Homo-oligomer: A and B are copies of this chain.
């Protein structure tokens, strides 16, 4: 059977003060009033039925997420007592699903992006499920055909077309030569020009048991810990075991722990990449989120009432659509208003909002962060 797990771990501190520890990025309204988590959930429906969709996120967000996704069965929320990166979040999903259904084939998707058109997403997802169902040894990942020589993303170098036998219904599938971490600009330009490189989407499809076996090879400590947790899951010991075991797991990404060595042929599985020809918009920072908002004729992007006189290139966001933001003579500045915090910074300091949140936390504890 086909399953899907939305991995919704990140806090999204670069979107502070709209994102908070208690109200992470995935729950913010971004596109047409829908949150990234809602968008990720709706994207899956049609390929995987709601009762087989799971969400893996911080335990503290359980109530907010269940309220946010009323279609999600409560047992399908997989709470992490604290974040141990994607190798363990994904490993936990596989360990639990493998016990429930020994033949479980699972898609792991992110909720950090706006992805369009959805049909392309569906086609790529179905292709990956098809490949994995024919060849249980396959670890399938998705690669986005690059639209620019982006230096903020990892790349996947594809090799020869993957042909396990008769042709697949969906699009092409390729073997993978290598996973490449964020490149410098010169390398990125080369990758972009060559046509053989794809952006690493951080999304995957595989059989739960196949991933667990690879995890046992490459990251035995996590494999052992996650197996213990899965055994305790449907017992009264779940929370105590999670707290004791999960928090002690090594913090490491699935790319680094499994995909890179597997692509080098160091495990038993084969890694393939399914191209997913979509617009893939990371809304992890204010300038990125602003791309989802309407622009006026002076390149000001806003989601609230504004009066912007002789002002250009600003980003204006409020959690209250009736709050007026007024500026005169202002250029390239980000203004974010919430009930208890106002954040202002030049656009070119957008990445430093992360540091700002840390300073706010140092000064005021959790009060404003």
Contact = CB atoms under 8 A, between A and B. Distances in A.
Interface string A1-12: 000000000000
A352 B310 CA distance: 10
A164 to B, nearest CB: 51
B341 A344 contact: no
Interface in A323-341: 323-330, 333, 335, 337, 340-341
Interface stretch (A62-70, A244-252, A258-266, A355-363): A355-363
A264 to B, nearest CB: 41
A345 B327 contact: yes
B345 A330 contact: yes
A326 B355 contact: no
A215 to B, nearest CB: 39
Contact of A344 (B310, B333, B349, B363): B333
Contacts of A337: 337, 342
Given A340-B322, A342-B337, A360 B330 contact: no
B309 A356 contact: yes
Contacts of A345: 327-330
A341 B323 CA distance: 6
A327 B352 contact: no
Contact of A346 (B326, B329, B352): B329
Contact of A330 (B325, B327, B340, B344): B344
Max count, chain B CB within 10 A of own CB: residue among A307, A310, A322, A344 = A344
A256 interface: no
A17 interface: yes
B307 A360 contact: yes
A345 B325 CA distance: 11
Interface residues of A, number: 36
Contact of A324 (B330, B355, B360): B360
Given A307-B363, A359-B307, A363-B307, A328 B353 contact: yes
A23 to B, nearest CB: 16
Contacts of A318: 342
B307 A327 contact: no
A233 interface: no
Max count, chain B CB within 10 A of own CB: residue among A326, A341, A345 = A326
Contacts of A346: 329-330
B329 A352 contact: yes
A45 interface: no
Nearest to A356: B328
Contacts of A340: 322-324
Nearest to A354: B328
A355 B309 contact: yes
A364 B324 CA distance: 10
Given A328-B352, A335-B344, 19 more contacts: A17-B326, A305-B364, A307-B363, A307-B364, A309-B356, A309-B359, A323-B340, A324-B342, A324-B368, A325-B344, A326-B344, A326-B356, A327-B343, A329-B348, A329-B349, A330-B333, A330-B349, A333-B333, A344-B344
23 contacts: A17-B324, A17-B326, A305-B364, A307-B356, A307-B363, A309-B352, A309-B359, A318-B342, A323-B340, A324-B341, A325-B343, A325-B344, A326-B343, A327-B356, A328-B352, A328-B356, A329-B346, A329-B348, A329-B352, A330-B349, A335-B342, A337-B337, A337-B342
